[in-house]
Structure 1
Amino acid sequence: MTDFRYDTVSSTPGPEGVRIIALNRPESLNAMNRALIDDVARAFDDANADPATRAIVFTGTGKAFCAGDDRKAHVHPETEEEARAMVLAIQRATHAITLGAKPVVGAINGWAVGGGFEWAINCDFPIWADSARGFFPEVSLNLFVTGAVTTLLPALVGLNKAREMLMFGDRYSARELAEIGLAWKVVPDDDLMATATETAVRLAALPVLSVRAMKRVLNHAAVPDLHRALQLETDATVAGFLDPETTRRLKAF
């Protein structure tokens, strides 16, 4: 299996056709800066193109899966061109995870916040550690969500619950997310990677053609407006970035 190297993401061969992609900025709880966003997209593109990779485990190194936007390293876009380039980079990562050929097992540890929560939802089989937590702070920051969650989330939990989660930004435990169908499984923290890897090995053992077709058809049939959602989210997020109120709220967060 090919070995790929990135600055902020590790991509290592696992057992029996499994690749493990791990966010690797543990000192910042794997918060998202531009380098990490670009590395996630590249890592998934490379894994999807690698014939030896048949299933992917996506996780975070250290105490968190992904704590959302890196406030310390945040560079606020000053022009529409800069804002759109940033948001399109985020959406490219979503596209590689959600619409890529290989099934993705999420191993969600610690906090999954904002864009990190979006990436957890993008996984085909999201397995959450018992202590993990997730929430969307975007609306409170005068921003908007990405990751196609405006269509994925209602499909998974229903429109009313999606409104609650996205507008109020409440914090949810892994058990609560399992009850509403957002976490596929919840396991003890110490069992997270073993369970995720075992699930990926099961997927990797299945016929490649049928697994890829099933992922593709299920996603397009269940969420037919996914591409449209990505476009609308991009426009709304760009507008949020360009509003001076957003900068004030980000600094106060």
Structure 2
Amino acid sequence: MTAAVISIHEGSTAWVKLNRPERLNAMNRQLVDELAEALSRAEAEESIRVIIVHGEGRAFCSGDDLKDLDVQTESEAATQAWVEAIQDITLQIMRSRKIVIAAVHGWCVGGALEWAINCDFRLFADSARWFFPEVSYGFFVTGGVTALLTKQVGPQVAKELIMFGERHDAKKALEVGIAWKVVPAAELLGEAKKLALMIAERPAKSVADIKRAINVGFHSSLDEAMTIETTATIHGFLSAESQARARRF
């Protein structure tokens, strides 16, 4: 079986690559489980200071693989396990003592966009495109974004982005604060490496403590938001109408 996530440790940096290019790196259980394992390995390695998450091929990640919808919704228990696996990635990223960078190119959609928002820095290629499709299907967002995004961009913009599900470009990501910086696509990974090396020059404990302090102070309602999201997402996945909408898409 081809690895859905490839992880390479290079000095103080862990390069974690989503590797389902034939599906635009869409999220299935294999990818989510392998991503969790890659993040755990990087977390356990003392020499690793920064984790860079990026995608192989033409996209960062196109969100849930809708070809797996039947598997994800075959029972309430299966849906619960799927949603919790997605949410666990958020907790790994946000509670990590490493700095996590999202290097985004091509499509960044749904759950993958939510993971990117969880990262400490988000570099977008000028070719990046992104949107939240969940509400259009009758599903719900994850990743704590009902709290995180609202605090970052304000409630009105958060409602616009999540409710309407319109497709946006990298310029819009920078404008609303989802992107930290937009760079030419050919320079994306080089810029991510440059940022990682800059972070690695700082004292490890201070950087980790600052990340934790800021996240705890700024995202104090993360757990509550994710509890609401998990319940709502499970209901959405199990809805026959939502499943039909997703299949038509």
Question: Shorter-chain TM-score category?
Answer: over 0.9
Point out the structure with the larger helix share: 2
Structure 1 residue aligned with 2:141: 145
Structure 2 residue aligned with 1:199: 195
Question: Over the residues paired in the alignment, what is the CA RMSD in angstroms?
Answer: 1.1
Q: 2:154 aligns with which of 155, 158, 161?
A: 158
Contact persistence 2:25–2:61 (CA under 8 A): yes
CA distance in 2, matches of 1:138, 1:85: 18
- Once the two structures are TM-superposed, the CA of residue 87 in structure 1 deviates from its matched residue by 0.5
CA distance in 2, matches of 1:86, 1:174: 29
CA distance in 2, matches of 1:73, 1:233: 20
CA distance in 1, matches of 2:38, 2:223: 21
- Superimposed CA distance per residue, residues 15-49 of structure 1 (whole angstroms, 9 cap, x where no aligned partner): x4011111011111000001101111111121111
Q: Does 1:8 align with 2:14?
A: no
Q: Does 1:130 align with 2:126?
A: yes
Q: 1:17 aligns with which of 3, 12, 16?
A: 12
Q: Does 1:171 align with 2:167?
A: yes
- Once the two structures are TM-superposed, the CA of residue 57 in structure 1 deviates from its matched residue by 0.8
Q: Does 1:43 align with 2:43?
A: no
Q: Does 1:63 align with 2:61?
A: no
How many residues are aligned here?
Answer: 247
Contact persistence 1:76–1:247 (CA under 8 A): no
Structure 1 residue aligned with 2:22: 27
Q: Does 1:220 align with 2:216?
A: yes
Greater displacement, 74-83 / 243-252 = 74-83
Contact persistence 2:72–2:82 (CA under 8 A): no
Please give the secondary structure, in 2, of the residue aligned with 1:191: helix
- Once the two structures are TM-superposed, the CA of residue 52 in structure 1 deviates from its matched residue by 1.3
CA distance in 1, matches of 2:5, 2:233: 25
- Superimposed CA distance per residue, residues 72-99 of structure 1 (whole angstroms, 9 cap, x where no aligned partner): 2332413221111110000111111121
- Superimposed CA distance per residue, residues 162-190 of structure 1 (whole angstroms, 9 cap, x where no aligned partner): 00000000111111110111100000001
- Paired residue type of 2:193: T
Contact persistence 1:38–1:93 (CA under 8 A): no
CA distance in 2, matches of 1:26, 1:208: 34
Q: TM-score, normalised by structure 2?
A: 0.96
For structure 2, the 5+ residue unaligned runs are: none
Contact persistence 2:174–2:181 (CA under 8 A): yes
Q: 1:52 aligns with which of 47, 61, 65?
A: 47
CA distance in 1, matches of 2:95, 2:230: 17
CA distance in 1, matches of 2:56, 2:118: 18
- Paired residue type of 1:196: A
Please give the secondary structure, in 2, of the residue aligned with 1:104: strand
Structure 2 residue aligned with 1:104: 100
For structure 1, the 5+ residue unaligned runs are: 1-5
Runs of 4+ in 1 over 3 A off after TM superposition: none
